[in-house]
Structure 1
Amino acid sequence: MTNGSSASPPQSRTAWVADRIREEVASGALRPGELIKQTVLAKRYGVSPTPVREALRILEADGVIDYATHRGATVREMTPDTAADLYRLRAAVEAVAASAAVERMTPEGLRTVEARHADIERAMRDGTAPAELSRLNKRFHFAIYEMSSPLMLQYVEALWVRFTPPATIWSTEHADALQRDHDGILQALRDGDAEAAGRLTAEHVRHAAAIRDQHPELRASGSQDREDLGAT
């Protein structure tokens, strides 16, 4: 994970902090059930406690964070069923977004996707930590989805935000296979093949789901009585 204090926050510090927390949750740096100490995050990101507190409230509404009396904020623990459902939804929505991205791809957009792909390749060669590979993986995917439409991007973002994994799957054991999936998706983009881009994206998401299912330490393990997504 990139230290949040290494970059200048945009106009909204709260939104910037919320994005940093989302990245840490998505990479597994903040694990389900882990107590979130606002003072620690404030120091890590180089901000006052106020934007951290406000960001946590936003993430609570998004279903990422739980608040409990006398305990404070923790990363929401997913049940196995919820994790499976999120992967199903991701496979469907991201396939549509990838297909639409091909149809609306610009030369500049394709260069950005290629650069994000190269970032992962370089990081893997350099032995970069799995959490950082996870962050780069998200940048690759969203470089594609940003070429679809604001509406599709919004739906994809909502699904990624809801997903709170116990750990990233971007370990040395799985990184090569996941990057080979990316190779195929990128080639479909270069070929202008919308059908292939959508199909390969869905297969890639299902591949990620299978990796988690095959490794107990990567599976969601929250109990059903702890989970209540509520309405937002």
Structure 2
Amino acid sequence: MSEMDAPPKSRTTYVLDRLKADLEQGVINPGDQLRQTAIAKRYGVSPTPVREALRILAADGTVEYTSHRGATVRDVTPEMARDLYRMRAELEGLACEVAVERMTDEGYEAVVAANDRLVAATADSADPATLSVLNKDLHFAIYESTSSVMIEGIALLWARFKPSVTLWGVSEFSRALDHDHVAILEALARRDGPAARAAMHDHIMHAWELRQTSAELRATGPRSTDVSGSEAS
């Protein structure tokens, strides 16, 4: 079926896709209050599909409800951040090993090309948002050789961190992370699954250690902000 022949999205699906996009792009951030009427007005829908979309996000842990604030984007506490990195290290390490088992020459070439784009952008001092996107492209170029269920699980963990707070905004960190990627690609080139797994695990925990050295990048827990950007009482 072509895109033109595809059935129209339901209003709930439309709102859900918009909310996910706003979360991914940093328009809505962890800790933000989600007012149904404001979201409905912004997306041009009634409150009902907004309510249903928020329930779906609450079921996967993206949104939480409290008696005094209603729906808010779940914020990341220091403990949650550490758990997320540990989970990422385990799952993405496994994904690297699985990728080695299934990766074609074309798949490996796509990974190398993604890494080349990131290295070039780092050398050119590209803006942090661009580097962050290119870094994600590299990781998921590797995971493309796994399966949809593995990719979806990894994407869910990545979505827990707001894109505006990225390690790629610090040049020293960018160089260190680029260096980590070399070990991963070398293991992939050798088709050494255990080495690729270990290299990815070490890389992600290294990223966690780097994040902990920066007051601006460390997770600090709940804050009170309205979805419109104003401070909530």
TM-score above 0.5, yes or no: yes
1:52-67 equivalences under 5 Å are 53=50, 56-67=54-65
Ranges in structure 2 where 5+ consecutive residues have no aligned partner: 1-5, 223-233
Counterpart in the other structure of 2:18: 17
- Counting aligned pairs with the same residue, the percent is 42
Contact between 1:166 and 1:219, CA under 8 Å: does it hold in 2? no
Partners of 2:215 and 2:125 lie apart in 1 by 24
Please give the per-residue CA displacement for 1:84-114, whole angstroms capped at 9, x wherever unaligned.
1111111111111101101100122112212
Contact between 2:96 and 2:193, CA under 8 Å: does it hold in 1? yes
1:74 Cα deviation from its structure 2 partner:
3.9
1:9-158 equivalences under 5 Å are 12=9, 13-14=14-15, 16-25=17-26, 30-35=28-33, 48=44, 53=50, 56-67=54-65, 74-158=72-156
1:24 Cα deviation from its structure 2 partner:
2.3
Distance 1:18 1:197, change over 3 A: farther
Partners of 2:15 and 2:29 lie apart in 1 by 21
| Secondary structure at 1:170 match in 2 | helix
1:206 Cα deviation from its structure 2 partner:
0.2
Counterpart of 2:177, as a letter, is L
Partners of 2:41 and 2:189 lie apart in 1 by 42
* TM-score between both structures, scaled by the size of structure 2: 0.73
Distance 1:105 1:41, change over 3 A: farther
Contact between 1:78 and 1:164, CA under 8 Å: does it hold in 2? no
Please give the per-residue CA displacement for 1:161-192, whole angstroms capped at 9, x wherever unaligned.
34457711111331111111112212211221
Task: State the Cα RMSD in Å.
Answer: 3.2
Contact between 1:95 and 1:198, CA under 8 Å: does it hold in 2? yes
Contact between 1:15 and 1:55, CA under 8 Å: does it hold in 2? yes
Counterpart in the other structure of 2:230: none
Counterpart in the other structure of 1:226: none
Ranges in structure 1 where 5+ consecutive residues have no aligned partner: 1-9, 224-232
Distance 1:30 1:41, change over 3 A: farther
Partners of 2:77 and 2:109 lie apart in 1 by 38
